[in-house]
Amino acid sequence: MEFTIDRNELMTALYLTQGIVDRRTTIPILGNVLIQSVDDGVCVTATDQEVAVERRCTAAVKRKGSLTTPARKLYEMVREFPEGEVRFHSLENNWIEVACGRSRFRLVGMDPREFPAVPQPVEGSAAESLRVPASALADMIERTVFAVSGDETRVNLHGIYLEGVDGERLRLVATDGHRLAMITRPVEGTAPAKGVILSRKAVQELRKALEEDGEPVEFSVRGGMAHATRGPVRMSMRLVEGEFPDYHQVIPAKSERTASIEVGAFLAALRRVSLVSSERTHGVKLQFETNRLELSSINPDIGEAAEEAECQFEGDMLSIGFNARYLIEALSLFPPDGRLDIGLNDDVSPGVVRLSSDPDYCYIVMPMRL
């Protein structure tokens, strides 16, 4: 195989592979990228057999074929190359020559026939498919993925639940058992009504493919796989097996009291007061009174902190404890000049956090004893 490709075009493709190739794999070929000739250039592919990404690149192919080479080392090399054309040339015994400007490297490759096949979407099938703007899907992922459980043994919580609502909207839900993030947006097409779980790794890698402005995302689900296509990029993601918990049971039917506060002011106060909180629990007490909020934290090993903030609140005084980190992570994604509506019932019921300007986003936080 022999071809020439623009350095920036290759960089874009290799960037998408870096989170997918597995450092700890016992299958050496999974640490490589597969580069193969296609009609209009070359296709760069990486997979860990759970998530796969393919990126078509414009290239001048002199001799067709395919090759594989270590993904991370190639990315590091290309990142250091100057602007210009990068030249690839397959040699004997799967060696590869890579050159750019005055630099020339010879890399050890592997037989491309050992590279596993990547599942492809079924063309013209009855798969549930939808079309969603890239910026909207990126925002949905960003506002939910932080709530995914970090415990890999809880497989059904170690991902984002995706389902269709009313046949016209897509909903993403994530929870770790202590908090829950849910967002719903309109889409074109048919979202999976039954609901499926995408692994956190799959969602994070999909988010990377949405960074550049451009075409919407074509998304389909069939046979235990999800496929996302956007311009020259296609991702294949194996669905997580297991049942996602009934998240409807976690969301309070109604809130007896509601506090309204500016996002930026509340976030800044939380960050300051939480500086003395326990590094294990991050506990902060919120005391709501008529048009007043007091935030406080006590740590016997460090000291105490308290701060008042303006807040629209009516009703009897209510004190409730929360993990400040859980609130900070969500609030950091909101516009600072926006307003939060915090629905409350009592000190043992979850708090319901919403943006006044976005009723289709909901964040549930379980309280804690302080």
pTM assigned to the model? 0.90
Alpha helices (H) along 187-315: 200-208, 263-273
Whether 300 and 228 share a structural domain:
no
CATH number at residue 209: 3.10.150.10
- In a domain, residue 255? The reply is yes
Q: Yes or no: say if 275 and 303 are a contact pair by the CB < 8 Å rule.
A: no
Q: What is the pLDDT of residues 76-122, one digit of tens each?
A: 999 999 999 999 999 999 999 999 999 999 999 999 999 999 988 76
Query: For residue 175, is it within any domain?
Result: yes
Residue 122 lies in a domain: no
Taking 90 as the threshold, does the pLDDT of residue 152 lie above it? Answer: no
- Residues 333-344 pLDDT 10s: 999 999 999 999
List pLDDT tens digits, range 156-185.
999 999 999 887 899 999 999 999 999 999
Q: Would you say residue 354 lies in a domain?
A: yes
Contacts of 100 (CB under 8 A, 6+ apart): 7, 78, 81, 82, 84, 85, 86, 87
Distance CA 198, CA 227 (A): 11
User: Average pLDDT of 309-322?
Assistant: 93
Domain membership of residue 11 (yes or no) is yes
- pLDDT (mean) for 315-319: 92
Residue where one domain finishes, among candidates 86, 114, 142: 114
Task: For residues 26 and 109, state if they share a domain.
Answer: yes
* 349 and 305, same domain (yes or no): yes
Same domain as 190, residue 144: yes
Give the per-residue pLDDT at 233. 95
Residue 129 is predicted with a pLDDT of: 83
How much is the average pLDDT of 314-331? Answer: 95
Predicted pLDDT of residue 192: 79
123 lies in a domain?
no
> How far is residue 234 CA from its own chain's centroid?
16
> Does residue 134 share a domain with residue 243?
yes
Question: What is the length of the chain?
Answer: 370
For the chain, what is the domain count? 3
pLDDT at 124: 54
Residue at which a domain ends, from 84, 114, 144: 114
For residues 175 and 157, the answer to whether their CB atoms sit within 8 Å is: yes
pLDDT in tens, 185-225: 999 888 777 899 999 999 999 999 998 767 899 999 888 89
Give the whole-angstrom CA distance, residue 269 versus residue 88.
55
Give the pLDDT confidence of 230-263 residue by residue, as tens digits.
999 999 999 999 899 999 999 998 999 999 999 9
- Phi, psi for residue 132 in degrees, rounded to 5: -140, 140
Q: Do 139 and 226 belong to one domain?
A: yes
| Same domain, yes or no: 337 and 304 | yes
C-alpha–C-alpha distance, residues 285 and 270, integer Å: 10
Q: How confident is the model at residue 153 (pLDDT cuts 50, 70, 90)?
A: confident
Q: Are 53 and 102 part of one and the same domain?
A: yes
Residue 160 lies inside a defined structural domain of this protein: yes
What six digits make up the tokens of 80? 């250091």
Domain extent, residue 135, equals 128-248
Q: Are residues 299 and 224 in the same domain?
A: no
The per-residue pLDDT for 125 is 52
Out of 248, 282, 297, a domain closes at: 248
Same domain? For 172 and 152 the reply is yes
10, 263, 293, 294, 311 from 314: Cα distances, Å: 58, 19, 11, 14, 10
DSSP per-residue string spanning 103-115: EEEEEE-B-GGGS
Q: Give the H or E element holding residue 87.
A: strand 85-90
Rounded Cα distance between 270 and 147, Å, is: 18
* Confidence check: pLDDT of 56 > 80: yes
Do 141 and 99 have their domain in common?
no
Same domain, 240 and 219: yes
Digit-coded pLDDT (tens) for 12-25: 999 999 999 977 77
Specify if 66 maps to a domain. yes
- Cα gap 256→285, rounded to integer Å: 19
98: which 2 tokens? Answer: 């890579």
pLDDT digits (tens, 9 = 90+) for 271-315: 999 999 998 999 999 999 999 999 999 999 999 999 999 999 988
Residue 182: per-residue pLDDT: 98
